[in-house]
Chains A and B, each alone.
Chain A
């Protein structure tokens, strides 16, 4: 019954989506009012139907309706209720439905938000949404149906991969999907602008907030993924440059580039083609990412089992790229004759450099990700591209990005005079050089880590310096105190100060990455009960093993007493979890975090018979906590930038 409701809703929604993609064309031809209205109704109808389908699947998961194959494969009677719900995105079929659901929620929000505005744009915007929705609905209906029955109905389900039974499972996939889908909004407006030939800044200004929102979710999705990897996967790392991680990260790069370059278009009416291309690429990459993950062409920890879905996504990707760039070429004549750069040293060129760096990073990561495919197809040689490639290539690019981050916000538009440069950068640059010198004398002797610490500091100095000047001016003009002045400044220029906070968060993150990449220590040993292992300032004493039966698994836990420079810190208990459905145990690492460094313990093995021996892996990773702290600050900054403040609008105009 549930399955019937769900499947029927999907088919009806597909019919509406097909209507939604035809109606604008008919409406434009005939100019009939009813046809225009029907476009809105098509979106609203899809919203209701897809929501109904998603709720049906959630209901089936929660009530463990094992007559549905998807439910039988992704939940068990023992599964806790919230993990039953997260089963919605635990495997391919459900996660596609979730994607479609988020997409149609976004479409409905856009349709509702602009129900009385932008009447020229909206039919085409909603048409683009319907095209994408029609694609996802046909995949769900014909290639990966989450409502497929199973016969005979099993007594109990198989359950999620135990690695997925984690609190982050509740947030990581939906955040990421929301980020991906959010990019559809600027993309749809960009396409509408191309279709209409209205290529001024309207589409950019309209979608700015949507884009920042999408970027927020994309950033958080990736960071939560990194956090999950660090604290659950138990290898001590947070980013493996796994193809699927790359797939999730790649759209972030053009999206970030886009957020920066649209400022140039808003201000100077330049870079029109570039901005359109960036948003097309960003959107295409979300489809490409799904293709990469779901087609099984690359093996990865995240990959679901393969199926016919890959070819659907590849075809749609080709359609999107050809259609979008074709439209861009068709409108090429309206995109000519833009103003050019006045000078090499100015805000525009800094933002342009930022774009070049981000797109270069995208290109190199893309190349590294698909290189094994190219190599196998062209030369028939199986290769893999390891994490060192990505580290070597992206490290200089990201450091350059951090440098630009220090320069960009403070340099003048059009042409920066010597005076402007000296006034804004003399003190921050001097302070950074001094810091570099101190670090060098202290112990940081390698080039990349030195830059990795100095450049973030440069950004922090420029931001503090600029804010301090602005605060002083406020005090002089309005006589405001520190806090009041800060509040006024932020309220008056949300984007600038929100951006500053995001930049601060980003450099903290870079600081954490630089520290943890450059100065990690790793030790591994087999210990008898009572034996000790020293790692740097730490000593770890093995206290014993303990086994316990848990509701879903059997848990073996090792107790390790930790001493920091001789002082006892506490007992850490990394564990191995043995799930009856799994061939191998799942590790549960334990770590202790301070602002200075993390100490991370992994139980890699133990002697089953004598139970007095354990193999322990210990990692000491400096400055790790700053990565997560930086993430929080970035989130905060994004919220400051997009927080709806009514007064803002009046002052801006």
Chain B
């Protein structure tokens, strides 16, 4: 009986150790800290080359996009500090100037935040259409778009 319970405890310890190791490696790879531009600036030294999530507002008029190479440059602010962001890829549909956004990536040596993902903040409720302001692209009149090469 004694031998059994000892074996049971040893087995449980081995399983726990293996599991802790798995969790530790997983967490190290995937826990992403969320910072605001102010926090990022305050801990600039430590933030370098760590995978972070930066949240704030996309500064009005800061967005420069190059559709050909799919690169985007813009600034994110929390009202106090501003961080320049560089992104290559396709941002989500809700991403635009003056709106909230969360970018994920690393703050590089060049002073740019290199984002690998952009997450736009969704509005909490689905809003009804505003008067005289159709949400869809009004320049896109049905029938006109059927251009074939």
Where the two chains meet, the residues of A that have a C-beta atom closer than 8 Å to any C-beta of B are 158-159, 161, 305, 340, 356, 360, 363-364, 367-368, 371, 381-390, 392-393, 396-397, 524-526, 529-530, 543-549, 553-554, 556, 576, 578-587, 604-605, 607-609, 611-613, 615, 617
Contact pick for B23, options A393, A545, A548, A576, CB 8 Å:
A393
Nearest-neighbor residue (CB-CB) of B53 within chain A: A384
C-alpha gap A587/B22 in the complex (Å): 36
C-alpha gap A595/B93 in the complex (Å): 32
Query: How big is chain B's contact interface, by range?
Result: 35 or more
- CB of B80 within 8 Å of the partner chain: no
Given A364-B26, A584-B93, A612-B147, the answer on whether A579 and B135 have CB atoms closer than 8 Å is yes
- CB of B43 within 8 Å of the partner chain: no
User: 24 pairs across A/B with beta carbons < 8 Å?
Assistant: A158-B126, A305-B124, A360-B19, A364-B19, A383-B34, A385-B27, A388-B26, A390-B30, A524-B90, A544-B145, A544-B149, A547-B141, A556-B145, A580-B134, A581-B129, A582-B126, A583-B127, A583-B135, A607-B67, A608-B137, A612-B147, A615-B67, A615-B70, A615-B90
C-alpha gap A388/B25 in the complex (Å): 10
Asked if A530 and B31 make an inter-chain contact with CB atoms under 8 angstroms apart, the answer reads: no
Q: Whole-angstrom distance from the CB of B120 to the nearest CB of chain A? A: 8
- CB of B6 within 8 Å of the partner chain: no
Hey, which chain B residues are within 8 Å of A340, CB to CB? 4
Nearest-neighbor residue (CB-CB) of A549 within chain B: B142
Where the two chains meet, the residues of B that have a C-beta atom closer than 8 Å to any C-beta of A are 4, 15, 19, 22-23, 25-27, 29-34, 53, 67-68, 70, 89-90, 92-94, 120, 123-129, 134-137, 139-149
Asked if A390 and B149 make an inter-chain contact with CB atoms under 8 angstroms apart, the answer reads: no
Q: Is the interface of A mostly helix, strand, loop or mixed?
A: mixed
Asked if B94 and A584 make an inter-chain contact with CB atoms under 8 angstroms apart, the answer reads: yes
Given A364-B22, A605-B90, A617-B90, the answer on whether A385 and B31 have CB atoms closer than 8 Å is yes
C-alpha gap A247/B146 in the complex (Å): 45
Asked if A161 and B22 make an inter-chain contact with CB atoms under 8 angstroms apart, the answer reads: no
Hey, which chain A residues are within 8 Å of B141, CB to CB? 547
Contact pick for B145, options A384, A387, A547, CB 8 Å:
A547
C-alpha gap A553/B29 in the complex (Å): 41
Given A389-B26, A389-B27, A547-B144, the answer on whether A363 and B19 have CB atoms closer than 8 Å is yes
Contact pick for B135, options A526, A556, A582, CB 8 Å:
A582
Pairs A-B, 5 closest by C-beta atoms: A578-B136, A389-B30, A584-B93, A382-B34, A604-B90
Asked if B27 and A356 make an inter-chain contact with CB atoms under 8 angstroms apart, the answer reads: no
Q: Whole-angstrom distance from the CB of B86 to the nearest CB of chain A? A: 16
Hey, which chain A residues are within 8 Å of B89, CB to CB? 524
C-alpha gap A387/B19 in the complex (Å): 18
C-alpha gap A604/B29 in the complex (Å): 29
Asked if B140 and A526 make an inter-chain contact with CB atoms under 8 angstroms apart, the answer reads: no
Nearest-neighbor residue (CB-CB) of B34 within chain A: A382
Asked if A390 and B93 make an inter-chain contact with CB atoms under 8 angstroms apart, the answer reads: no
Q: Whole-angstrom distance from the CB of B44 to the nearest CB of chain A? A: 18
C-alpha gap A524/B88 in the complex (Å): 10
Asked if B67 and A392 make an inter-chain contact with CB atoms under 8 angstroms apart, the answer reads: no
Q: Whole-angstrom distance from the CB of B116 to the nearest CB of chain A? A: 11
> Apart from A580-B135, A582-B135, what 15 extra A-B contacts exist at CB < 8 Å?
A158-B126, A364-B19, A381-B33, A383-B33, A389-B31, A393-B23, A543-B149, A544-B148, A544-B149, A547-B140, A547-B143, A579-B135, A583-B123, A583-B135, A615-B67
Q: Whole-angstrom distance from the CB of B141 to the nearest CB of chain A? A: 7
Asked if B136 and A554 make an inter-chain contact with CB atoms under 8 angstroms apart, the answer reads: yes
C-alpha gap A383/B69 in the complex (Å): 32
Contact pick for B128, options A385, A581, A585, A587, CB 8 Å:
A581
Q: Whole-angstrom distance from the CB of A253 to the nearest CB of chain B? A: 14
Given A389-B27, A544-B148, the answer on whether A526 and B67 have CB atoms closer than 8 Å is yes
Hey, which chain A residues are within 8 Å of B15, CB to CB? 356, 360
Given A525-B70, A581-B129, A605-B90, the answer on whether A392 and B145 have CB atoms closer than 8 Å is no
C-alpha gap A390/B22 in the complex (Å): 10
Hey, which chain B residues are within 8 Å of A368, CB to CB? 26
Q: Whole-angstrom distance from the CB of B4 to the nearest CB of chain A? A: 7
Given A384-B32, A388-B30, the answer on whether A578 and B137 have CB atoms closer than 8 Å is yes
Contact pick for A382, options B33, B142, B148, CB 8 Å:
B33
Asked if B125 and A581 make an inter-chain contact with CB atoms under 8 angstroms apart, the answer reads: no
C-alpha gap A510/B23 in the complex (Å): 21
Hey, which chain B residues are within 8 Å of A386, CB to CB? 30-32
C-alpha gap A384/B55 in the complex (Å): 12
Asked if B34 and A158 make an inter-chain contact with CB atoms under 8 angstroms apart, the answer reads: no
C-alpha gap A568/B23 in the complex (Å): 47
C-alpha gap A360/B128 in the complex (Å): 45
Hey, which chain B residues are within 8 Å of A556, CB to CB? 137, 140, 145
C-alpha gap A613/B149 in the complex (Å): 12
Q: Whole-angstrom distance from the CB of B97 to the nearest CB of chain A? A: 14
Q: Whole-angstrom distance from the CB of A230 to the nearest CB of chain B? A: 18
Asked if A384 and B4 make an inter-chain contact with CB atoms under 8 angstroms apart, the answer reads: no
Q: Whole-angstrom distance from the CB of A5 to the nearest CB of chain B? A: 29
Hey, which chain A residues are within 8 Å of B147, CB to CB? 529, 544-545, 611-612
C-alpha gap A370/B33 in the complex (Å): 15
Q: Which one of B94, B137, B141 has the greatest number of beta carbons of chain A within 10 Å? A: B137
C-alpha gap A10/B139 in the complex (Å): 51
Asked if B30 and A581 make an inter-chain contact with CB atoms under 8 angstroms apart, the answer reads: no
C-alpha gap A477/B29 in the complex (Å): 58
C-alpha gap A92/B128 in the complex (Å): 19
Hey, which chain A residues are within 8 Å of B23, CB to CB? 364, 367, 393
Nearest-neighbor residue (CB-CB) of B102 within chain A: A384
Asked if A609 and B29 make an inter-chain contact with CB atoms under 8 angstroms apart, the answer reads: no
C-alpha gap A529/B148 in the complex (Å): 8
Hey, which chain A residues are within 8 Å of B33, CB to CB? 381-383
Given A544-B146, A615-B67, the answer on whether A580 and B136 have CB atoms closer than 8 Å is yes
Hey, which chain A residues are within 8 Å of B31, CB to CB? 371, 383-386, 389
Hey, which chain B residues are within 8 Å of A529, CB to CB? 147, 149
C-alpha gap A549/B26 in the complex (Å): 47
Given A364-B22, A390-B26, A545-B145, the answer on whether A554 and B140 have CB atoms closer than 8 Å is yes
